[in-house]
Structure 1
Amino acid sequence: MARRTTTPPPPEDFEEKIVGIDVEEEMQNAFLEYSYSVIYSRALPDARDGLKPVQRRILYGANELGLRPDHGHVKSQRIVGEVMGKYHPHGDQAIYDALVRMAQPFTLRLPLIDGHGNFGSLDDGPAAARYTEARMAPAALLMVGSLDEDTVDFVPNYDDTQWQPEVLPAAYPNLLVNGAAGIAVGMATNMAPHNLVEVIGAARHLIAHPTCSLEDLMKFVPGPDLPCGGKIVGLEGIRDAYLTGRGSFRTRATARIEALTPRRKGIIVTELPYLVGPEKVIDKVKDLVQSKRLQGIADLKDLSDRQHGLRLVIEIKNGFVPEAVLEQLYKLTPMEENFGINNVALVEGQPRTMGLKDLLRVYVDFRTDVVRRRSAHRLRKREERLHLVEGLLIAIVDIDEVIQVIRTSDDADIARTRLMDVFDLDEIQANYILELRLRRLTKFSLIELETEKAELERAIEELRALLADEKLLLKLVSDELAAVAKAHGTPRRTVLLESSGQSAAATASSPLEVSDDPCWVLLSSTGLLARTGSAEPIPTEGSRSKHDVIVGAVRTTARGEFGLATTAGRMIRLSALDLPTLPPTNGAPSLSGGAPLAAYVDLPKGEEPLTILPIGAEAPVLALGTASGVVKRVTPEAPKSDEWSLISLKPGDRVVGAAVADRDDLDLVFVTSDAQLLRFAARSVRPQGRSAGGMAGIKLSPGATAAFFGVADPARHGVVVTSSGSSDALPGTQGGSLKVTPYAEYPPKGRATGGVRCHRFLKGEDTLVLAFAGNAPAKAAAANGVAIELPAADGRRDGSGVPATAVIAHVASAPSEGADTNGAVSPGESE
């Protein structure tokens, strides 16, 4: 059964007293105490060592545990427990958060903790303290060095059971090198990291020239050096911060534009602004794209890894200028951020806002005091040791008498008194002799003591001279700083860019989309596609390099479309925007920088590309010729679909040539495999719709096929190129005989006739392996695109050829102003 409890009554002499207080005054006092605690004990760093109390206690605790860089890592929880139990009156999470920040290379320019495990990233937090390990980094040894030489004052801990340093000796200007960030009550600090070598250079210059100007110091420290690199745009705010302690600058990501595929360009981001993670950028870009505030981005991938570091790949849509999209990214996303400098730190216990010179002056004065106190401590220790050595030397000289005095004494006190009286020693020397081990009483020990005495006297003389001369003291401080810079300095990571102060993105005038300027689309003999940067006439002479033969050229615009004709009688719609742009050239264009046709069109087996042709509402009439001798002129109508048929082919038939035939006075030309050539006027073939099957073009002999079809202008100089060989030979294995004849040597005939002979076969030859008829000049190329020189024209229209010097795979007219080129293929291309 539960027992009922009651509150015992108060004693009989108990008198209740209620004290009245002013609530407003009580709250003010409590808030002032809280504010004082936050400012001086938590949020603001000390200007001398650049550390907040929790950071200082972590380094001191790790040093007391012996966790130096040559020591193994220990659980982070062990360091946290040591600091919390002895020095820091707050919770373990606050201590661990500070320890993590000191270990992150993307937060501090010179990390103070060497972390082992998951210490987080710019987007994700660290693992729990029980899963990570840590020890002091090499830079931390510079912060705690000579701590045991009375270089700084020690103060009691929170419960007066331990002693902790009020400030660390700090062998380098940590506040400027690693920066600081903190929010107190009514004030805050935000200091940017800097390069160690540059800061030490400025400090040494200030030591040598105490009255130097800010401009002199900025020759050494031109601006912050952020751990993640990136760029700083605009230096005006930096100078303001160095002068007054307050200013701002813009940090910008490092990005470059690359060709991701033959069809697409992208922006590669390798460095982000200070404390900006990739996930933050990715999320912002996604939001902007979904809200349609940012256009031109097709995809964004994060390909960052530990081996290559940060790598964001932003794929740009065709038709958009990558440079303009990058400017929009700078303007709308965290790829460009503002950093506000507020140099607030504690100086003699008071928060102060300081510029660059003031920060360096506070540190130099502090470090000078540290070196002075260290030197005084070393002088005192050496003087004490010299005093002992002198007494020991006296004892060793008369060692037998010393032993006799000790042996004849009743106790240690009497022996001490007798030694002091007999050998004129003081109490300290007498005690030291009494505690001396017998093994020291050797001849060799005497030599060692005399050597030690000489070294001590020399060191004491140097230390006294150092303490007596302020210049020598400052020189030692400067030399020690130079040694730190040499041992721990690294090159600058952040690029500084001058600016007028306005954002480059805000003042950008580049159009976001590619302007619809006139251009040429070109197809090379090896199947490479590209477009030119303008509609200037294409040179026909000049460079003769790879891909010098252009088998298709269409005048269009950068945002226009063109068609690809195939041997199956199809037309496939393509966009000029997808093509790479050729750089300007003084000679004939080379498509070595073009993209392969296979990147745009996936043709089924047995279907081959012929040439590229104009399409659209203003497209000209096209002419087609098939292997069975059928000819067709096609009306320029084009459906909205991506592909359509140009001709209805009979089973087993294929298209061997396609070209523009927009005038009735042009010639349509067939060349057959048995060396017959037929040219007839285009007016004799009326244009038909896409579904029509065409009409008879040339009468073929039994077993013969049409090897070539094209369009020629009889008013212009033309040529006919034929190459013969054996039908039993493999394609491309023999040069055969080659002949070039003026086009005018072949008389026009009526449509659907047999034509005239254009090439006489030699012994072992029974077919044409290549044929071309069209406007001059004509150019030839091998299968790999290398240009091949054609022989001089032969006036015999039915003569035999000369031995070919190389196997010719392609012949085409050079593109010229005023007319699009006619496609030309050899029989080997369509087999």
Structure 2
Amino acid sequence: MRATPPSPAQDRAPERIEDVDVSVEMQGSFLEYAYSVIYSRALPDARDGLKPVQRRILYQMADMGLRPDRGHVKSARVVGEVMGKLHPHGDAPIYDALVRLAQAFSLRVPLVDGHGNFGSLDDGPAAPRYTEARLAAAALALTQDLDEDVVDFIPNYDGQFQQPEVLPAAFPNLLVNGTTGIAVGMATNMAPHNLIEVVAAAVHLLENPEATVEELMEFVPGPDLPSGGIIVGLDGIKDAYAKGRGSFRTRAKVSVEPLGPRRTGLVVTELPYLVGPERIIEKIKDAVTSKKLTGIADVTDLTDRHHGLRLVIGIKTGFDPLAVLEQLYRLTPLEDSFSINNVALVGGQPQTLGLRELLRVYLDHRVSVVTRRSRFRLQRRRDRLHLVEGLLVAILDIDEVIQVIRTSDDSEQARARLMDVFDLSVLQAEYILELRLRRLTKFSRVELEAERDDLKAQIAALEELLGSDVLLRAQVARELDAAAEAHGTPRRTVLLNGGPVAARPSRAAAAAAADLQIADAPCRVYLSATGRMLRAEVSPDAPGGGIVPPVRRSKHDAIRSAVDATTRGDVGAVTSAGRLVRFSPVDLPSVPGNSVQPAAGARADQYLGLSSGEHVVALVALTGEPPIALGTAQGVVKRVAATELPLNRHDIDVIALKPGDRVVGAAPAPDGAELVFVTSDAQLLRFDASSVRPQGRAAGGMAGVRLADGESAVFFGAVEAAASDVVVVTVAGSRQALAGADAASVKVSSFEEFPPKGRATGGVRAQRFLRGEDTLALAWVGLGPARAVGADGAVRPLPEPVAKRDASGQPLDGLVGAIGEPVR
């Protein structure tokens, strides 16, 4: 007989339906969700500076034994362990948190040592199955002593495992590494700081609990960003340190450098925090395309792992690099802002904290950690001392102990008899029963007595530490100093107490471009004796509209040649290879006329792109008059009219040199001037420039000075016939001297002492050689006073002029590399 199945109405339980107000339910559910996000995901704890997922990652990696001295493991394994045991919110957020802990551009002190592609500012990381990780050394300082009851442990999400409520944190991680997070109705955004500075401030606050924010800022003047850069303006930082909220602006670190012959560029080596080079390049391209930015020739990213960030921005000829840089700061993320919002959990509640409050919360936590650790160690040492004292009792009468144990029926009886006979505790008796007999020797007794004495000393020290608040704080300070010494690094970010770049009013594109271009103003171009060029401003208010009165006694270098020009005009550089290179001084380093320092200019050979072994001998104006005179080492002289130089060519041969010959000097030479040769055998020849007729560019010149066999011309120049303060400087040496050895002697004499002679003659003696001297190493003729410099541009003293033209020289104090005249 088949049973009749129950009807659905009979099997169904009574329904229970409740009416709930939707607004009340939504409010309650949303508040629970908001609390969960705030407390369990988005905001860091002010004590260890970690969000729950970060804390769980570090704890689990420490539990897995992934120390810095061991090998890396797959990141996927770490993610799986953390997700399965502690953080059931998916693998993606866990891996994202792990990656950030390993990024040196995100954290000031990275806590995870990553191996593989952990991403960049412009690209994301590889998948966790391709990367490997282990704890960094600094992470050990956050997780150390967890096994000594320093913090409370709480159950994981399903109650199967335990996890720390907070890490011990041997340094103020929240301030050092900063953090960012978005919760419900609130957010946090904290800047990284320098570990050494933060520890110094924490120790000061520990020793001076009433210290003010101003006092703490003497130790922590501002954030120290992982990417370096420059922080402009400190007012917002002061607000953040006082109230927990503020903002500051960061700039990239940019330098103006030559990029090649007659090319200048901006080289970016450090960027604002969390700004990548690709973002910069994209913004520059957009600004150039929209005509908001002019003067940019190209942008090249030369960043690599060996040399770090290097973003090269080429500047068009005629544009002021500093003016273009100002526009870049205004229009691109080369200048960026950072808003500080110091929101963190304190006692489970979100609070906005200033610098003093952040340090105070951390120090209270650290004092608690050291106190709990000391109590734990004290109890452990007391327990061990109790056992050691029991062992010593047993060793003193070992035969009776063995007899008691042998005559006992079982372990319970043996324990009871030991306690009764030797007055031992339960723990001592149990420990003696479990002890191996080989420990009960005479040598073990010595060891135990030494251990007992050491334990008593440690117990006394721990009791003294726990009984004194001063000693406790001193211990915290010592551990903070040790952490700073072990993991601290020098400051990377430069702090400037200035304002940000002011936004300019909108203009037409042509006006904006003109504003970036360097004005075509009068200037003077200098060639130094050590081969550097720069341009100096000319003031129209100066007498005769000339250059601003410069510093007469420049500390470095001397002038070989100078020419008046305009900033965007053309200047000619005559080289030792017989070429004239036409260039515009617009891209030369510019200085005010009253601060000319030739040693700070651009190297002429690099600026003009000269070949190896070729150098500039003189600068000449290309105004059409007067002719340019050239002299060569083989004694050839030539004058070429500037009208022979084509205007549409930048590289012109101005003399046909014989094989092995080179130009030793060049200068403007009107008919009324005198040309001067000085030879290596100390002969000086002066003759009228009018005796040398101007020739075309292809001509090879004519005989200038008659040379003895094996000799050459070491100087050629031109002087005004009416000049009365012209001096002759000769430096004698030896042909057998090693390169770089000091010259023997130097002589300064008046040019008027040398009689003029005809062209192509041998000249007259300019210096009498002393014993060991057989040649002139250097010679120079020009307006006095002369200046001698070493190879580094440092000034060398010269003797006073002598009346006798063929006298011997005076010993030199140091090696002379070149001779010229001071800046006038």
Provide the TM-score with structure 1 as the length reference: 0.73
Deviation at 1:482, TM superposition (A): 2.0
Cα deviation for residue 385 of structure 1 reads 1.6
Q: Confirm or deny: 8 A CA contact 1:172 1:200 kept in the other structure.
A: yes
Give me the whole-angstrom Cα distance separating, in 1, the residues matched to 2:28 and 2:63: 37
For 1:463-612, what aligned pairs fall within 5 Å after superposition? 463-499=462-498, 501-503=499-501, 512-520=516-524, 532-534=536-538, 536=546, 556-561=565-570, 575-577=584-586, 584=593, 595-596=604-605, 599=608
Higher alpha-carbon deviation: 202-211 or 530-539: 530-539
**Does the CA-based 8 Å contact 1:741-1:793 persist in structure 2?**
no
Aligned pairs for 1:145-164 within 5 A? 145-164=144-163
Show the counterpart of 1:13.
11
Cross-structure match for 1:678: none
Between the aligned partners of 1:311 and 1:543, the Cα distance in structure 2 is: 38
Cα separation, 2, equivalents of 1:377 and 1:76: 35
Offset of 1:169 from its aligned partner?
1.0
Contact 1:610–1:656 (8 Å) recurs in 2: no
Query: What's the offset of the Cα at 1:792?
Result: 6.0
Check 1:795–1:740 CA distance in 2 against 1; reply closer, same or farther (3 A cut). Answer: closer
1:118 maps to a residue whose letter is: N
CA distance in 1 between counterparts of 2:573 and 2:330 reads 40
Q: Which amino acid aligns with 1:513?
A: Q
CA drift at 1:427: 2.2
Matches within 5 A, 1:151-550: 151-499=150-498, 501-503=499-501, 512-520=516-524, 532-534=536-538, 536=546
Per-residue CA deviations over 1:4-51 (Å, capped at 9, x if unaligned) read xxxx99465336847343333332222222111110100000011111
1:86 and 1:435 map into 2 onto residues whose CA distance is 36
Q: 2: distance between equivalents of 1:526 and 1:214?
A: 52
The offset of 1:164, in angstroms, is: 0.6
CA contact (8 A) 1:253 1:273 kept: yes
- 2:29 maps to which residue? 30
Counterparts in 2 of 1:798 and 1:260: CA distance versus 1, 3 Å: closer
Cα gap change, 1:414/1:30 in structure 2, threshold over 3 Å: closer, same or farther? same
1:175 is paired with a residue whose SS is helix
Answer with 65-74 or 557-566: which moved more. Answer: 557-566
How much has 1:574 moved relative to structure 2? 5.3
Question: Cα distance 1:656–1:351, how it changes in 2: closer, same or farther (>3 A)?
Answer: closer
Residue 148 of structure 1: SS of its match in structure 2?
Answer: helix
Give distance in 1, aligned partners of 2:406 and 2:757: 138
Q: What SS does the corresponding residue of 2:379 show, helix, strand or coil?
A: helix
Compare CA radii of gyration and give the structure with the larger one.
1
In 1, Cα distance between equivalents of 2:460 and 2:80: 45
Cα-to-partner distance string for 1:371-399 (whole Å, 9 max, x where unaligned) = 11111111211222222222222222222
Distance 1:58 1:299 in 2: 44
Deviates more, 1:103-112 or 1:420-429: 420-429
Tell me the distance in 1 between the aligned counterparts of 2:70 and 2:403.
49
Q: For the Cα contact (< 8 Å) 1:546–1:590, is it kept in 2?
A: yes
**Kept in 2: contact 1:263–1:595 (CA 8 A):** no
Residue of structure 2 in register with 1:650 after alignment: none
Alpha-carbon distance, 1:719 to partner: 3.9
- Give the fraction of aligned pairs with identical amino acids, expressed as a percent: 55
Residue identity in the other structure for 1:536: G
Q: Please say which of residues 557-566 and 175-184 is displaced more in the overlay.
A: 557-566
Q: Equivalent residue for 1:77?
A: 76
Q: Could you say which residue in structure 2 is the equivalent of 1:107?
A: 106
Separation of aligned partners in 2, 1:117 and 1:277: 19
Other-structure match for 2:686:
740
Instruction: Provide the rounded CA distance (Å) in 2 between the counterparts of 1:760 and 1:280.
Output: 64
RMSD of the TM alignment (CA)?
A: 5.0
Distance 1:645 1:322, change over 3 A: closer
C-alpha distance in 2 between matches for 1:759 and 1:97 = 79
Which residue in the other structure is 1:61 paired with?
60
* Aligned-partner residue type, residue 517 of structure 1: A
**Residue range with higher mean Cα deviation, 482-491 or 177-186:** 482-491
Distance in structure 2 (CA, Å) of the matches to 1:342 and 1:226? 16
Deviations 1:446-486 (A, max 9, x none): 22222222222222222223223222222222222222222
8 Å Cα contact 2:66/2:72 also seen in 1: yes
Contact 1:781–1:810 (8 Å) recurs in 2: yes
Aligned length: 704
Distance in 2, matches of 1:118 and 1:211, equals 47
Cα displacement (A) at 1:524: 10
The equivalent residue for 2:795 is: none
Q: In 2, Cα distance between the equivalents of 1:318 and 1:76?
A: 51
CA deviation string 1:690-743 (max 9, x = no partner)? xxxxxxxxxxxxxxxxxx999846xxx5447799xxxxxxxx9x9898753457
Paired position in structure 2 for 1:674: none
Unaligned runs of 5+ in 1: 1-7, 603-607, 625-630, 647-653, 658-707, 724-731, 749-756, 815-831
Whether the aligned pair in 2 keeps the contact of 1:759 and 1:797 (CA below 8 Å) is no
Q: CA deviation at 1:429?
A: 1.9
Residues 737 and 800, structure 1, Cα contact 8 Å, conserved in 2: no
State the distance in 2 between where 1:195 and 1:174 align. Answer: 10
* CA apart distance, 1:488: 2.2
The change in CA–CA distance for 1:599 and 1:9 in structure 2 (over 3 A counts) is: farther
- Cα distance in structure 1, aligned partners of 2:418 and 2:599: 104
Q: Distance in 2 between matches of 1:260 and 1:372?
A: 61
Shift of the alpha carbon at 1:435?
0.8
TM-score by length of 2: 0.73
1:203 & 1:769 partners in 2: Cα distance? 68
